[in-house]
Amino acid sequence: MRADAARRAEQLRARIVASARFQEGETPAEDAAALLGEFGEVLGELEALIRRINRTNAATGVDGGTLTDALARRDVLRLRHSVVTSAADAAVGEGQRGFRQLRSELKMVPALPVAQLRSQADDLARQLREVDTLIQRTNWEVDLLD
């Protein structure tokens, strides 16, 4: 429901922008003022839904914490995984020129232990999958609060 409301809001935004100006003597494709009104209604629905979701997440217990705690954990794991993976990729020179054309050119060497970073990234990916599965299962089992 939240994704649908956000998608509708984005579609309305695009239609508002497209109808905000029109050539003198022409009729605009849509009434931008009416679209703005509809946009306000959709945002009101979205805000109410987000409030309900947040109340539900804060009140739902999961693994010794709340669903909100699990969501924060997932967000941090995603960020940590992304940085560790990017660091390992950069250390091996991914996306960079990986060979020397002349023996006189400087050799590039990794500043980080790539194998260790790859192992850490694998462990973070596993943790992320576990937390994500827990969140998804809980979302199916818990009804949204009013």
Q: Are residues 5 and 68 in the same domain?
A: no
- Segment 37-61, tens digit of pLDDT: 999 999 999 999 999 999 999 999 9
Check residue 99 and give its pLDDT: 61
Residue 48 shares a structural domain with residue 72 = no
| pLDDT tens column, 12-41 | 999 999 999 999 999 988 999 999 999 999
- Cα of 29 vs its chain's centroid, Å: 33
- Ranges of H-type helices in the chain: 2-19, 32-59, 67-91, 114-141
Dihedral angle, C-alpha 24, 29, 34, 38, nearest 10 °:
-150
Q: Among the three residues 33, 59, 85, which one is the final residue of a domain in this structure? A: 59
- pTM score of the predicted model: 0.77
Give the total number of structural domains in the chain. Answer: 2
